Structure 1
Amino acid sequence: MSDLLQQIAAAADHIKKLWSETPQVGIILGSGLGNLASEIKDSIEIPYEEIPHFPVASVEGHKGRLILGKMNGRPVVAMAGRFHYYEGYSMLQVTFPVRVMKALGVHTLLLSNAAGGMNAAFQVGDLMIIRDHINLQPEHPLRGANIAELGPRFPDMSEPYSKALIVKAKGIAAANNIKVHTGVYVGVQGPTFETRSEYKYMHTIGGDAVGMSTVPEVIVGIHSGLQVFAMSVITDIGIRDEENVITHEEVLEAANAAEPKLTLIFRELISVL
């Protein structure tokens, strides 16, 4: 057995000893979006540092704990705080929790993130359902020898985000009078926010929003055979006035303001999976 398979098994076994249910849905929460975890009932929380081989979150707005419980009656496992390549982790570490979720029994992966908007129709606080992505991160999470037990050497990425779940999410949003966009997410390394020219470039190549996460986890989710759905909260506008400076504090503020809408969509989506 490879080292990675052993590490996945060790982490999953530790979690199973603390929580006997089999989660159906895995949830990864982005910057300022961790309060969805309060919707999880009969929950237990496991700090990342207690889970074998888990990295530890270090970014403001990411709490660093695994939450297991039920949402709308379905057993779920949620990450309150994710790992980023820019923190110095390898892509293997960034995506390790997705592997563990799969080992626990998860079949559907839901992700959220804070993103910069590049579409002129977007406003701060808007929600965007990700229908596709462009990967500009410098390292690929599947680079290296492929482990057949985890997935195929060349996974198909023609539908990384489930069209069926997108349709369901749009219906939930419409029924609750929540405006949502659909668009293309550009994944970059960070940690700097983009220059004005970089925003223009990424919009020119087809991007509607840009962020520093999500893409690696989605790739590994697809490699693992999971059904994937993701949403961005537009926390700043990249195509902007010359004097509009972006700060992490403003990103968190915008994410917190939009969180109730995103939480409602995720909660209702879980109920109809």
Structure 2
Amino acid sequence: MAGLGLGPNGGLLYCMEYLEANTDWLRERLRALRGHYLLFDCPGQVELYTHHQALKNVLAQLAKWDFRLAAVHLVDSHYCTDPGKFISVLCTSLATMLHVELPHVNVLSKMDLIEQYGKLAFNLDYYTEVLDLSYLVDHLASDPFFRNFRRLNEKLVEVIEDYSLVSFVPLNVQDKQSMRQVLQAVDKANGYCFGDQEHRSLEALMSAAVGADFHFSSTLAVQEKYVQSQDKAVEEEVMDL
């Protein structure tokens, strides 16, 4: 940044482009890790995943080297409490999935803080499964600021629903069951659970094949653990009175 007179974002984009131009360096470092399960912790700047080409090209090069890849996109769960921000999150997630072109797992992280900035308007599975978003537009229209943008929100929601690609897995890193569910989804996405490097029983393969698709019960458990129900909220208010 100092040498080239770049700001934080410009410096980061330059570094990613520099890595893209020097993938031989990356390949040499990765050769020493053959047979390992690798995690690439990527920067948070969304432009790297929505329209910039450098990281996408690096990932394509990794695929040519026979790495089985999956993208894991983390989203702070408290955005669910703000309909406008949640629509933005859906658009960003969809744009990332279409641009990166990898098996993709969207994760609602920090579930223990989901209602830090407000209450959920709907049950948790509405957000994880991205159900009928017209209800979200109606809820958003109750805000005087967003009332004038209803038509825009309707069009954004139409795009999200037309692709029908975005869903989320809830995560709290302090909860082993939650971590296991995310790991199962990622293993399925990158094909690791079907690989030949480890012994996999038929039971384990079937669990991996269907477990990531039918997790309503686990989502309900997360709801009960981290999301305060309306009945419970009313009960606590009565007790306070």
Q: If each structure's strand is expressed as a fraction of its own residues, which one has the higher value?
A: 1
Q: Which has the higher contact order (CA 8 A, sep 6+)?
A: 1
TM over 0.5: no
Larger radius of gyration: 2
Output the TM-score relative to the length of structure 1: 0.32
Q: If each structure's helix is expressed as a fraction of its own residues, which one has the higher value?
A: 2
Output the TM-score relative to the length of structure 2: 0.35
